[in-house]
Amino acid sequence: FIIPEFETFSKEIEEIYWKCKSNTEGKVASYIPQLARTNPDYWGVSICTVDGQRFSLGDVNVPFTLQSCSKPLTYAIALDQLGEDVVHHYVGQEPSGRNFNELILDYNKKPHNPMINAGAILVCALLKTLVKPEMTLAEKFDFTMNYFERLAGGEDLGFNNAIFLSEREAADRNYALGFYMREHKCYPEKTSFRECMDFYFQCCSMETSCDIVSVMAATLANGGICPLTEEKVLGPESVRNVLSLMHSCGMYDYSGQFAFKVGLPAKSGVCGGLLVVIPNVMGICTWSPSLDALGNSCRGVQFCEELVKKFNFHRYDNL
Ligand code: GLN
């Protein structure tokens, strides 16, 4: 086993869990009513190792929408289907140093990276327009959900239609980003703007739980092979690229500090989810809806910081 004393390890995780539970800082996202109504008390932690050992504590089966946690996943599919050269012809690899939905492109007039809204909208356009272009939007939705499910070891994902509709209604900024990119001819030819935006909102509105996301994280930790099914869902080159950009860009404007303090690739979402990867060891998902001023889950960030205090999981701990 990769973690030989898994029970002892789980006990330590449990201690960190309770420590973080007493943290009541932050506020739930409020830009749409469906998220504003979320109970801020939810707190779940799930772990899945690359050899399939699992440990879960708290609200690990309560559904929440992926939101920005879908961004590394859609990026992974695009890389796997199109290759790095095609994807990065359209989107950069640089942290933007600005808010995740800031109206800004890089000096090549490309979105800075796939982990912020502009980049993720662009990745959705690539998936829709260049990957199996004959598929309708309905088929592409199923195709993508099926990929997500295989990353999760075959678990069924849900779709939250109320959140999807609400996201689409309250999306002035995302439309602005979309149009700004269209103005600068960022999309591949033949992109349907409306379908691309809808597809982005749909990816944000796919519904999972802590337990399920930890398996997705574990598949990434395991180089693209799901530890539960042994299926090769993604190639290792794609996973390497995804983890690199999660490391530098996955935590909004806290990404640099997170890379410094925690030293692990991670991606957060406004839902309060946090997908964390310890390469070759395990995937972790934490979920707590209260967000700090930068948009990361307060308890999630605290959990990661406590975790690397206790274990040498930081990328540069083993020097
Ligand atoms: N649906 C959100 C948006 O596009 C997702 C952003 C996020 O999770 N940070 O604004």
Q: What percent of the chain has pLDDT over 70?
A: 100
For residue 295, which atom of ligand 1 is closest to its CA?
A: 9
Asked if residue 163 lies in contact with residue 32, where contact means CB atoms within 8 angstroms, the answer is: yes
Asked if residue 256 lies in contact with residue 263, where contact means CB atoms within 8 angstroms, the answer is: no
Separation between Cα atoms, residue 168 and residue 172, nearest integer Å: 9
Q: What is the pTM of this model?
A: 0.98
Residue-wise pLDDT tens digits, 39-85: 999 999 999 999 999 999 999 999 999 999 999 999 999 999 999 99
Asked if residue 127 lies in contact with residue 74, where contact means CB atoms within 8 angstroms, the answer is: yes
For residue 100, which atom of ligand 1 is closest to its CA?
A: 9
Question: Ligand 1 in contact with 200 (CB < 6 A)?
Answer: no
Confidence at residue 51, expressed as pLDDT on a 0 to 100 scale: 97
Alpha helices in the chain (DSSP H): 6-21, 33-36, 71-82, 84-90, 117-129, 137-151, 161-169, 172-183, 193-204, 210-221, 236-249, 255-261, 298-310
Confidence at residue 231, expressed as pLDDT on a 0 to 100 scale: 98
ipTM: 0.96
For residue 68, which atom of ligand 1 is closest to its CA?
A: 8
Query: Ligand 1 centre from 25 Cα, in Å?
Result: 21
Residue-wise pLDDT tens digits, 223-264: 999 999 999 999 999 999 999 999 999 999 999 999 999 999
Task: Give nearest CA residue, ligand 1 atom 6.
Answer: 68
Q: What number is the average pLDDT over the span 82-94?
A: 98
